[in-house]
Structure 1
């Protein structure tokens, strides 16, 4: 079968309706109950904290580049972005200057 666009179909076979097969009866119960396996994962609180990287008492976390994320600073920046006070003309000029320095 070849399809040419959304409305044109070319075929060398008949395009008759689908044929239904008779429904089969479900298998008879054998008397033994079948248990369905259940997947389960248990992670200790120590492992969970280590996997997220937030396991330090000083409010920072390790990142892949070897630096640290200051969670309090991230929260402050998110608040500024949400209330619209983050983008100031001075910050935009500084960012533009840094970008132009990289390409120059």
Structure 2
């Protein structure tokens, strides 16, 4: 009985052998092509998953402690004029009044 491992370690083996069969060559002029189409629902689901991944990445701070994904998204919203809204102003005002007392 060998307690310390196998008695012999084999080196790399060649890929030619009975395990690999060569496929028949395609007929002259014939080309195989695969196509994949995704339904509209699948495309929407993929876009939603990517948005969730982006949102999750926003919450992860970098080595400097800054959540750069969130900062970049907010900069884009401010530049596009979509960040400021009445609801956000109301929320900020309510928080300010709560702190003042």
TM-score (norm 2): 0.38
More helix by share: 2
TM-score, structure 1 as length reference:
0.37
Q: RCO greater where, 1 or 2, for CA within 8 Å and sep 6 or more?
A: 2
Decide which structure has the larger Cα Rg and report it.
1
